[in-house]
Structure 1
Amino acid sequence: MYKTFFMAWAGILLVISFVANAAPPSSFSSAKRVAEQQVYYDQTESFYCGCTFDFDTGPTLNSCGYEIRKQPNRANRIEWEHVMPAYDIGRQRQCWQEGGRDNCRRTDEVFRRAEADLHNLVPAIGEVNGDRSNMRFAMVNNPVHEYGACQVAVSFQERSFQPPPHRIGDIARIYWYMRDTYDISISRQQQQLFEAWDRIDAVDDWERERNRRIAAVQGTSNSYVESISAEVEIVDHVAEPIFQSKTSSVYSCDMRKTCGQMASCEEARFHLQQCGNGRLDGDADGVPCESICR
């Protein structure tokens, strides 16, 4: 018993030592090197599409059935994607209004830290990173552009980007971390969407391990990924779904619907609360499609 207790506390002190000696990257350029060498050094799957890749040679597109949309050069390299775009980080800051991203890099220490935050960086196929740009995450309508078997859809008309189902929870939790850490506002509609995504896609083992590695390097942990009690007890951040499995099997988030396409109030509530389709609640009172949900 005493041996187990001693080993546990030794592990605690080691974690505390890592965090105490951790130093966040000083710039986006240095963050990319740190992410490659200390966080993703043994990872071989791109974030959105799941293509196998090598940092030097790029992605193997046929490993995930990826089809190039328009940009072969960018499609054949791995780039570091800001899950929360630099535009969303900076646009609420005075430095951005006075000179955009370059000015923020020169004059705003908070922006530099946020832009270089490792929690917000993931390896992505360059074409997907370029197409997404600073688009908001959403369930997109037609017309969309897709990438073969990669489960990503982009609507340039709507300026919206739909990620694959296995990444939606990761995205929500990264957004919440960035919001809380850097006091960045997100819309009510996005918040509803992320709450739904967090319920649908729970934290997995790699997300926890990624968080641990970043905490050791950078000194900050994403509390929405895990709560670590002395590196001994892990409490998952997983909420119960709003609808039971029977209902979830009847309705689907795969197709974004309007109120006119709803067969019932129950279906409308599912699409608002489970899929985050905020357009169904035009007056933001929590009741979707009031013509059928009276």
Structure 2
Amino acid sequence: MLLRLFCVLSGLMLSVPLLAAPDDFNEAKRLAQRIYADESETFYCACPLRWQGSKGIPDLISCGYKVRKNGPRASRVEWEHVVPAHHFGKSLSCWQQGGRDQCQQSDQRFRLMEADLFNLKPAIGEINGDRANFAFAELPSQAPQYGACPFKVDFQRQLAEPRAEVRGDIARIYFYMADKYKLNLSKAQQQLFISWHQQDPVDDRELLLNRRIAQQMGHPNYFVTGTRTWSLDYQPTGYGLSAQLEPQHQAKVKSPELTQQTAHNSVAEQRNQDNQLQVLGNQNSKIYHLSTCPGFSQVSSKNQRWFSTEQQALAAGFRKAKNCD
């Protein structure tokens, strides 16, 4: 019986390449570009987005975006920390000694938080810069500043308002980061994010991205999967504060009632879902593979391009591998 269980678990683990969470922000950006390679719009403004290698280029004209001040940054996509680095770094001694640069050089815990893929989104560079480390809020009296882009910034009060379509995504990212790293959220912030979570529920795209990132990070965002629910009396677990946590130990925090074996099976089930949905293209050969195809694990990282569906791959000019039936 034990031998059979070992074989089943081994088969599940081998069905999808075992990947590793990034060690720093630079590595995280490279991985994020692969995860979001089929992303068609920027996060805050919903401007059409195309990729040239690792560079994201927003179509500002078609979405009615107007540059507020910084044209060069507006013309490119940057990886935005939804929960700003200042939020999770300011209490660390390295930050007090030399700010973000010092933390990047000397604090492994900060580097892991800064590289957490669940907290990264592709945003227009000017929006990323203007948002800075401002808290999110609703700003009904603030006039639009970026043309048709619905993002608003109150520079005097250091607040920012995102579009309604991503407010739930933002809330669930904040819940995830606060839970994993024991970050403080004020009562007002929690109330706002609980409201956003309810108004903008999880959709199919968020679920797909969650599965992709979970394969890399070793665990999902439990507030996206619904395994955990934030409330005003929620007590963050801090399960990400130890860099030595094994994936199965991270999975155990899904629910206090889960046993270690149940948690392990849950991770295996998550990998199976990834396996069914993944479509990986080879930029060089213009051939795509399903995760059940022999060539899926043979595509080099520099040539990888991910798609949500086979239809997207075909529309992008890729053809299915002949040995993938």
TM-score (norm 1): 0.71
**Which residue of 2 is the match for residue 14 of structure 1?**
12
**Which residue of 2 is the match for residue 48 of structure 1?**
44
**Which residue of 2 is the match for residue 254 of structure 1?**
none
Q: Verify: 1:173 aligned to 2:169, yes or no.
A: no
Mapped to 2, the partners of 1:83 and 1:16 lie a distance apart of 33
**Which residue of 2 is the match for residue 256 of structure 1?**
none
Using the TM superposition, give the Cα deviation of residue 181 of structure 1 relative to its aligned residue in structure 2, in angstroms.
1.0
Mapped to 2, the partners of 1:148 and 1:10 lie a distance apart of 55
Mapped to 1, the partners of 2:10 and 2:222 lie a distance apart of 17
Percent of residue pairs identical: 47
Q: Verify: 1:118 aligned to 2:114, yes or no.
A: no
| 1:17/1:65 CA distance change after superposition, 3 Å | same
Using the TM superposition, give the Cα deviation of residue 14 of structure 1 relative to its aligned residue in structure 2, in angstroms.
3.2
**Which residue of 2 is the match for residue 65 of structure 1?**
64
Query: CA RMSD of the aligned region, Å?
Result: 2.3
**Which residue of 1 is the match for residue 277 of structure 2?**
none
Kindly tell me the number of residue pairs found equivalent between the two proteins.
223
> CA contact under 8 A between 2:21 and 2:217: conserved in structure 1?
yes
**Which residue of 2 is the match for residue 95 of structure 1?**
94
Mapped to 2, the partners of 1:11 and 1:158 lie a distance apart of 53
Using the TM superposition, give the Cα deviation of residue 60 of structure 1 relative to its aligned residue in structure 2, in angstroms.
0.5
Using the TM superposition, give the Cα deviation of residue 63 of structure 1 relative to its aligned residue in structure 2, in angstroms.
2.4
Unaligned runs of 5+ in 1: 1-8, 234-294
Using the TM superposition, give the Cα deviation of residue 110 of structure 1 relative to its aligned residue in structure 2, in angstroms.
1.0
Using the TM superposition, give the Cα deviation of residue 148 of structure 1 relative to its aligned residue in structure 2, in angstroms.
1.3
Mapped to 2, the partners of 1:104 and 1:86 lie a distance apart of 10
Mapped to 2, the partners of 1:104 and 1:85 lie a distance apart of 14
**Which residue of 1 is the match for residue 33 of structure 2?**
36
Using the TM superposition, give the Cα deviation of residue 17 of structure 1 relative to its aligned residue in structure 2, in angstroms.
6.4
Mapped to 2, the partners of 1:14 and 1:42 lie a distance apart of 26
| 1:11/1:156 CA distance change after superposition, 3 Å | farther
Mapped to 1, the partners of 2:225 and 2:178 lie a distance apart of 17
**Which residue of 1 is the match for residue 153 of structure 2?**
154
- Residue type matched to 2:157 in 1? E
Using the TM superposition, give the Cα deviation of residue 147 of structure 1 relative to its aligned residue in structure 2, in angstroms.
1.2
> CA contact under 8 A between 1:24 and 1:217: conserved in structure 2?
yes
Mapped to 2, the partners of 1:15 and 1:54 lie a distance apart of 33
